[in-house]
Amino acid sequence: MYLATPPDPEPNPRARRRPLGQTDAMTTIETKSGSGSTRARGLGLAAVRGLGLALVLLPGAVLCFTLSLVSIALIPIGIGLVTTPWVLTGVRTFADWRRVLAAQWCGVKIPSAYRPVPEGANPWTRTFALLRDPATWRDLRWLPVDMTAGFLTALLPAVLLFYPLEGFALAAGLWRVFADAGYVAYWYGFVPVTGQASAFGAAALALALLFLAHFAGPRLLKAHFQLTRALLAPGQGELAERVRVLTETRRDAVDTSAAELRRIERDLHDGAQARLVAMGMDLGTVEALLDKDPEKARQLLAEARRNSADALTELRDLVRGIHPPVLAERGLGDAVRALALRLPVSTEVDVDLPGRADEPVESAAYFAVSEILTNAVKHAEADRIWVDVHHAEGMLRIAVTDNGQGGAVIGAGSGLSGVERRLGTFDGVLAVSSPAGGPTMVTMEIPCELS
């Protein structure tokens, strides 16, 4: 006998089902409510930010533009050579502050394409390096637009939000105050308010402005930063120039690497390799003379030992020329100190590095300092040298000063040209101040971060 299992009772249709569209309707209402509150917060935030920005940018842009014009005009009489670097640096700081706000408030990214200027260069070099930078003239073209169209686009979100409050106040009875004060008509926008009916017309205009602000306020603030980007962002010509510079520095890096490889091969062939071959021949002769002429064999063994020691010394020097062990183990600061200890003149080294840069950057900086120190000893006839190595604002800065005879220049065939090419691979810059009779100051800057 088989017993059939009764099926589960059908659940209550009313408990199982909801009225058609109930869930969707509730979700839609919640979404619209959340969207409305988000837009209201966005409008209020855009208005407050735009008002604060307008209050700062107008005096800031006027001040920067005026000081820039006056300072550049004073260059022929010498005063501008001192003031222009400071003024243009302030303009760059003002522009960079706007770049930060554009990215943080509206997600508008404005690239910065300023050419680095050595901090230790003389005023003449710094002034004309800044004036040759196309980004400087972009900043100066941007300032008049910023104090006019930029001011208006920053202020409009606040105007569209706060100006309707006056229209609602007129409709609530504020118009009577102006009527009692003797106003024939008080204009709210394009509406002449002369009585309660026209006050309601002002309220209708205020409502329309508030509706417009609800949708246009945040977009106006974003339009302000898009206008800023259109004036401050580098153009295609500068990008093409940047590509050209990168191509040249890459070619220089390849040429430098090939020259280093040829030097290593030559040093191995002429030095350690020749000594090792001679040592092998001496050992072969010793093996043949051990029984016939022991005295001669001992002399050849002593010579082979000297050759092995000389070969080891040359290999160490070669390795030090490729990548010094002290640089790999202790970092740039101690490597520069080791360089100074080997110099025949008094050398003071001041290092302030809270971390280490990437190995290629450290290597380039080390060999650049080595070349400059060698020039100071051999050509400048200096008897005292000062080396300062520190890191600040994302830049590795190295200054080498000597009290030699001066006259160092960057030119074809100069060791400083090779240093400049080496630094150019890393977007580094080199500045030389070396009047006749000295002193000579060589400043290097390489953009990098320390770890």
Q: What is the pLDDT of residues 123-178, one digit of tens each?
A: 888 898 899 888 999 999 999 999 999 999 999 998 888 889 888 888 888 888 88
Q: Give the mean model confidence (pLDDT) for residues 358-365.
A: 86
> Which of 237-251, 382-396, 434-448 is predicted with the least confidence, judged by mean pLDDT?
237-251
Confidence of residue 32 (pLDDT cuts 50, 70, 90): very low
pLDDT surpassing 90 at residue 392: no
In degrees, rounded to 5, the angle at the alpha carbon of residue 31 between the alpha carbons of residues 27 and 33 is 115
Decide if pLDDT at 237 tops 70: no
Q: Hey, what are 210's tokens?
A: 């508030």
Whether pLDDT at 8 is above 60: no
Higher pLDDT, 350 or 240: 350
Structure tokens at 298: 């001992």
Q: What does each C-alpha distance from 233 to 96, 117, 142, 229, 271 come to in angstroms? A: 12, 19, 10, 5, 55
Structure confidence at residue 36 (pLDDT): 56
Confidence grade of residue 84 (pLDDT, cut at 50, 70, 90): very high
User: Which residues, at least 6 apart from 84, have a Cβ–Cβ distance to it below 8 Å?
Assistant: 71, 72, 75, 127, 130, 131
Neighbouring-strand partners of residue 50: none
pLDDT for the residue numbered 31: 40
Residue 16, pLDDT above cutoff 50: no
pLDDT at 322 over 60: no
Read off the pLDDT band of 223 (50, 70, 90): very high
Instruction: Give a three-class secondary structure readout of the chain.
Output: CCCCCCCCCCCCHHHHCCCCCHHHHHHHHHHHHHHHHHHHHHHHHHHHHHHHHHHHHHHHHHHHHHHHHHHHHCHHHCHHHHHHHHHHHHHHHHHHHHHHHHHHHHCCCCCCCCCCCCCCCCHHHHHHHHHCCHHHHHHHHHHHHHHHHHHHHHHHHHHHHHHHHHHHHHHHHHHHHHHHCCCCCEEECCEEECCHHHHHHHHHHHHHHHHHHHHHHHHHHHHHHHHHHHHHCCCHHHHHHHHHHHHHHHHHHHHHHHHHHHHHHHHHHHHHHHHHHHHHHHHHHHHHHCCCCHHHHHHHHHHHHHHHHHHHHHHHHHHHHHCCHHHHHHCHHHHHHHHHHCCCCEEEEEEECCCCCCHHHHHHHHHHHHHHHHHHHHCCCCCEEEEEEEEECCEEEEEEEECCCCCCCCCCCCHHHHHHHHHHCCCCEEEEECCCCCCEEEEEEEECCCC
- pLDDT band at residue 58 under the 50/70/90 scheme: very high
Least trusted range by pLDDT, from 58-62, 124-128, 418-422:
418-422
Q: Please give the mean pLDDT across all residues of the chain.
A: 80
Residue 97 pLDDT greater than 80, yes or no: yes
**pLDDT tens digits for 277-289?**
777 777 777 777 7
Kindly give, in sequence order, each residue whose CB lies less than 8 Å from that of residue 366, ignoring residues fewer than 6 positions away.
324, 327, 332, 335, 336, 339
pTM above 0.85, yes or no: no
